[in-house]
Structure 1
């Protein structure tokens, strides 16, 4: 299947994945269409079929990062994100973590609910994740102090805990990531904004660094403007990019052509 490595492929993602060997992909980082929030030239997809194919092609210990939100229809959210998460779990994936991608701006303020600025990032794993490179860039307030405290026991009581190691200057991130979005913030590639829903480069990059090692194979079955492929290539990973739209794939090719 080496012919698919570092390729931008046009076609139905399920049909393309069916041509890929079992246990081939280390990491998937993707963001599917959110209900019918964008037209995407009228293309549709089947969550159950895709989840099954992703499970098959993912290596044991591999991870799928599924970034998704819901559309509000007649005053209520669709709940599609939760349905998709349950579909992946029914397929055999573990829900390793439920993370939040928090934007630094909003598009259109609501008048009947609090302003919506986040999307879900479901971290699915095929068994226990084999690669975990947690990013530690959170400034610790208590740097230099020793970890101390008490722990709640099964019976509800509190037990003392001995002083631990000194608190480091930087700790592991929380699972809510704030990401700058918008024109020339999600990417500096002007051409990327010809796509209706550009994926922030820093978001793709940080997941690639977290859940894969150099040389690993990173898949995006909704490749769009090529952000996942670009960040995989920049960070020494291999990529497989699929999208049903040749128009969007041409954007992706142009974004990758100058990367060594």
Structure 2
């Protein structure tokens, strides 16, 4: 049996069934290296509890280390032909009231079901990944593993450099590399990499790769990753696979059971290697 790891009175690598705000109050200040979560919002799914996103943000800010990132996957409800603006309100509250910086807003571009047709509005093919920063600069940031194939790989470009005043100064002559820096639009289609599994018994999941990319970019092995809304356990599972520790909170027992089954499967795989 593996030795238990403790953070104050909290046991690491465990999902607790309790309200996340109450749970996070058990975590010592400035001990969390990364937060990855997708909170319930705008009643887009049926849950037995509501989330106070502002209070969640305050507690996350308290427990995060200086330089830690909080990644929030979120969208807006459309009602009576208008957006709820939950995303925008969350950004303003987290920055103006709590003290985060908005490090970046990433667009997760999703593929809709083939043949889907929405008669009265555009189909929503994206969610936001809000990257909030505590402190002056990220404690760890490595975008190298996130590079994507370059469309014009091998093409030679000839261009100029322009000063702020509009003056052209010199020229550049470069060949596009095979891969390029990933921008703020992330194309992640779980249907191409994930088979239908027990995780999808939860009504709102995010892709394993999305979590992998956040983990590899903003954390190191051995770091502690927090998910206040653990759901089907994707943050925990991917953290375990990538050598990170995790803490999770989830109010629904049935979702914790799903998450624990997935974690047991990871442990079983490790035991046979």
TM-score normalised to structure 2 length: 0.86
Say if 2:145 is the partner of 1:138.
no
Match of 1:206 among 200, 208, 213: 213
CA RMSD in angstroms comes to 2.1
Shift of 1:148: 5.6
What is the CA deviation profile of residues 88-109 of structure 1, one whole-angstrom value per residue up to 9, with x for unaligned ones? 1121111111100011114963
Could you say if the C-alpha distance between residues 143 and 187 of structure 1 is closer, same or farther in structure 2, counting changes exceeding 3 Å? closer
Quote the residue 1:150 is aligned against.
Answer: 160
Match of 2:132 among 108, 124, 132: 124
Could you say if the C-alpha distance between residues 24 and 200 of structure 1 is closer, same or farther in structure 2, counting changes exceeding 3 Å? same
- Give runs of ≥4 in structure 1 deviating > 4 Å: 141-148, 161-164
Could you say if the C-alpha distance between residues 191 and 145 of structure 1 is closer, same or farther in structure 2, counting changes exceeding 3 Å? closer
Q: Give the Cα separation in 1 of the matches to 2:73 and 2:43.
A: 16
- Which segments of 5 or more consecutive residues in structure 2 lack a partner in the other structure? 1-6, 268-273
Match of 1:15 among 19, 22, 28: 22
Q: Give the Cα separation in 2 of the matches to 1:109 and 1:69.
A: 20
Instruction: Number of aligned residue pairs: give it.
Output: 256
Q: Secondary structure at the match of 2:257?
A: helix
What is the CA deviation profile of residues 206-243 of structure 1, one whole-angstrom value per residue up to 9, with x for unaligned ones? 11111111111111101000001000000111111111
Q: Secondary structure at the match of 1:62?
A: strand
Q: Give the Cα separation in 2 of the matches to 1:250 and 1:235.
A: 22
- Which segments of 5 or more consecutive residues in structure 1 lack a partner in the other structure? none
Q: Secondary structure at the match of 2:265?
A: coil
What is the CA deviation profile of residues 13-54 of structure 1, one whole-angstrom value per residue up to 9, with x for unaligned ones? 1111111011111111111113101111x2011111111111
Q: Give the Cα separation in 2 of the matches to 1:148 and 1:64.
A: 40
Could you say if the C-alpha distance between residues 148 and 53 of structure 1 is closer, same or farther in structure 2, counting changes exceeding 3 Å? farther
Shift of 1:161: 5.0
CA contact (8 A) 2:147 2:179 kept: yes
